[in-house]
Amino acid sequence: MRPEALLAAWDAARAGAAAGRWGPARTLVFRRANAEPTVLAIADRDARCWAEAVDRGAGLCTLAGLALCLRLLALVEVMGRAEWLIGLFDVTPQGVDLHPALLRAAAGMPLDAGARFDAEELRRLLSRGLPARASA
């Protein structure tokens, strides 16, 4: 997936929220041979807005659209969970500025069984791609 697709979906979701397009609650069921299905509920108002924006753009009925939605939701979730990511993004009234390395990682690394990014794997991946901070 292209990092630009994630950023475009993010911008579309912000525009959708501003227009009050929250979208319906959705349930995704992933069935696997010899295993219990994985059920993901998109019920939170913000998550519904992210999913609605992707559905209006790429379409959740397509594999590409579904992958985009899950990656976008995983990116938002890990940004809220992993405090060490704070220096790699800035949310402003005009939108979000995401470090290119964070976008590249979110576009390329796998999701876990719960459709989340492994925060420690993300940290390892980003530590190889970011220059060290200069000491003052």
> Where in the chain are the domains?
3-129
Angle between helices 63-81 and 3-18 (to 10 degrees): 80
Looking at residue 94, its amino acid is: Q
Segment 4-44, tens digit of pLDDT: 999 999 999 999 999 999 999 999 999 989 999 989 999 99
Tokens read off for 3: 């990092």
Query: Pairing state of beta strands 89-92 and 95-98?
Result: antiparallel
The answer, yes or no, to whether residue 132 has pLDDT greater than 50, is no
pTM of the model: 0.87
Give phi and psi for 50, each to the nearest 5: -60, -45
**Which of 15, 77, 78 lies closest to 49, judged by CA?**
15
Tokens of 19: 């227009």
Token readout for 109 is: 């690394």
